[in-house]
């Protein structure tokens, strides 16, 4: 069953086309990484999914129209924005009391368990917390809600690397199961590659790549080519080439592993490296057409 199903999703702001008729399907029980540069359409897509902006096209989230049925939908959806906004005058324990009082699916014991891994004091007021602590508190609140769909927009912004790793481990160990679906956007893409089941690249309002991680890992290969093999490697038509510490690094789409292994060290490319490769090729093609 699909959790999110969009067909011909379009959104314009004046003359700017934020979403250019995209088709999107996310099955239940998947973790999708939505990756794109600033202004690519990520936030607009999330806002449409959450019923925060009107749109053209067909969109169903958990079987509902998010724009006309947002009230019902929000009972089964949780959202973490890139900026955590909590009442600054409240104490941490009051925040927990409030969420427990208004949300029937909030598990206070689970939230307390997340907070136990931090240095946040229950008597502290939100305004006394650092930016990273506010983010930790916000994450603990949302992760303790039993939602069918969790939307994370730059969820670890402002956190140090130690807590970012702890958060993603918690996401897998304490939250995710096959009845829940997660959509996450982040610029720290290498940190979430091991978490994702699916990845989607978006640029200029269009889907550039839509792949399961299984297909990603079998389809795309990166080779650190030995100097004497560079010419032979280029003959296999890589989609991207870069230089790193005197070595030539090439990325291939659909080439055979054994064939590439004869040219150098083969591995699965990082999501960020493939993203740069694909969008760099698009920019080059656009410049060529403009010329």
Task: List pLDDT tens digits, range 120-173.
Answer: 999 999 999 988 888 889 889 988 998 999 999 988 877 888 888 888 888 888
Whether 188 and 223 map to the same domain: the answer is no
- Cα separations in angstroms, 227 against 165, 191, 249, 279: 37, 31, 11, 26
Structural domain includes residue 210:
no
Given a cut of 60, whether residue 291 has pLDDT beyond it is no
Given a cut of 80, whether residue 284 has pLDDT beyond it is no
Helix, strand, coil shares, percent, the chain, to 5: 35, 30, 35
Domain boundary among 159, 181, 204: 204
Whether 8 and 110 map to the same domain: the answer is yes
**CA Rg, the chain, in Å?**
21
Neighbours of 70 (CB within 10 A): 15
Domain hosting residue 162, numbered range = 2-204
In this structure, which long-range contacts are made by residues 124-128, counting pairs with CB atoms below 8 Å and at least 24 apart in sequence?
Answer: 124/91, 124/92, 125/88, 125/89, 125/90, 125/91, 125/92, 126/86, 126/87, 126/88, 126/89, 126/90, 126/91, 126/92, 126/95, 127/88, 127/89
Domain boundary among 145, 177, 204: 204
Whether 221 and 269 map to the same domain: the answer is yes
Given a cut of 80, whether residue 84 has pLDDT beyond it is no
Structural domain includes residue 249:
yes
Neighbours of 182 (CB within 10 A): 25
Mean pLDDT of 20-43: 92
Query: Would you state the pLDDT for residue 283?
Result: 43
């Amino acid at each position: 069953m699909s959790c999110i199903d969009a067909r011909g999703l379009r959104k314009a702001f004046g003359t700017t086309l934020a979403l250019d008729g995209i088709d999107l399907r996310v099955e239940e029980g998947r973790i999708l990484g939505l990756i794109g540069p600033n202004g690519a359409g990520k936030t607009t897509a999330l806002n449409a999914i959450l019923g925060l902006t009107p749109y053209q096209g067909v969109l169903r989230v958990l079987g509902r129209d998010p724009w006309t049925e947002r009230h019902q939908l929000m009972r089964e959806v949780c959202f973490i924005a890139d900026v955590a906004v909590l009442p600054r005058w409240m104490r941490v324990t009051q925040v927990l009391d409030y969420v427990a009082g208004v949300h029937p699916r909030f598990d206070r014991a689970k939230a307390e368990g997340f907070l136990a891994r931090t240095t946040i004091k229950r008597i502290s007021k939100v305004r006394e917390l650092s930016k990273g602590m506010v983010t930790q508190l916000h994450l603990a609140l949302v992760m303790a809600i039993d939602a069918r769909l969790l939307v994370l927009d730059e969820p670890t912004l402002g956190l140090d690397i130690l807590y970012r790793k702890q958060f993603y481990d918690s996401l897998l160990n304490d939250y995710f199961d096959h009845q829940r679906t997660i959509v996450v956007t982040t610029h720290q893409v290498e940190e979430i590659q091991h978490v994702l089941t699916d990845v989607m690249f978006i640029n200029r309002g269009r889907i550039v790549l839509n792949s399961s991680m299984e297909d990603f890992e079998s389809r795309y290969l990166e080779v650190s080519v030995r100097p004497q093999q560079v010419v032979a490697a280029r003959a296999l038509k890589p989609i991207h080439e870069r230089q790193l510490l005197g070595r030539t690094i090439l990325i291939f789409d659909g080439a055979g592993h054994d064939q590439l292994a004869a040219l150098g060290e083969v591995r699965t490319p990082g999501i960020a490296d493939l993203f740069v490769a694909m969008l760099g090729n698009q920019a080059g093609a656009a410049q060529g057409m403009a010329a």
